[in-house]
């Protein structure tokens, strides 16, 4: 049963990642990977809310597997973030590469903290 929760979440997360990345990137005429940044920050926010809900006892193990491992695992992408950063550096846009690395880490960490804080406010 556990693996079904992960598969079901991933079946939603993977297409959501693809569609969100394409929709966001289409709105920006730049080499900066806005789509990857958007899905990683959104996934971090969702994981923060899930973490807060779990700590408060509002989310069980199946929810954690479905949302955390399945959906967010397929939605977020560390490998694409790394590839995008390397591609920017190799193409001569090292400033964008540095901005991508710093902004991605800071924004994702900020999003997870916001998510936990929101969840604690809702479920405590």
- Binding-site members are 73, 76
User: What is the secondary structure of 57-111 as a DSSP string?
Assistant: T-S-HHHIIIIIIIIHHHH--HHHHHHHHHHHHHTT-HHHHHHHHHHHHHHHHHH
Q: CB–CB of 17/80 below 8 Å?
A: no
What tokens appear for 32 in the block?
């900066």
Binding residue ranges for Na(+) = 73, 76
């Amino acid at each position: 049963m556990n693996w079904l929760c992960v598969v079901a979440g991933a079946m939603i997360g993977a297409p959501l990642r693809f569609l969100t990345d394409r929709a966001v990137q289409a709105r920006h005429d730049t080499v900066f990977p806005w789509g990857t940044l958007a899905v990683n920050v959104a996934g971090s926010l969702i994981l923060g809310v899930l973490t807060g809900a779990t700590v408060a006892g509002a989310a069980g193990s199946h929810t954690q597997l479905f949302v955390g491992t399945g959906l967010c695992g397929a939605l977020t992408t560390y490998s694409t973030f790394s590839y995008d950063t390397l591609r920017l550096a190799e193409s001569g846009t090292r400033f964008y590469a540095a901005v991508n690395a710093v902004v991605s880490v800071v924004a994702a960490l900020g999003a997870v903290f916001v998510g936990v804080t929101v969840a604690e406010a809702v479920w405590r």
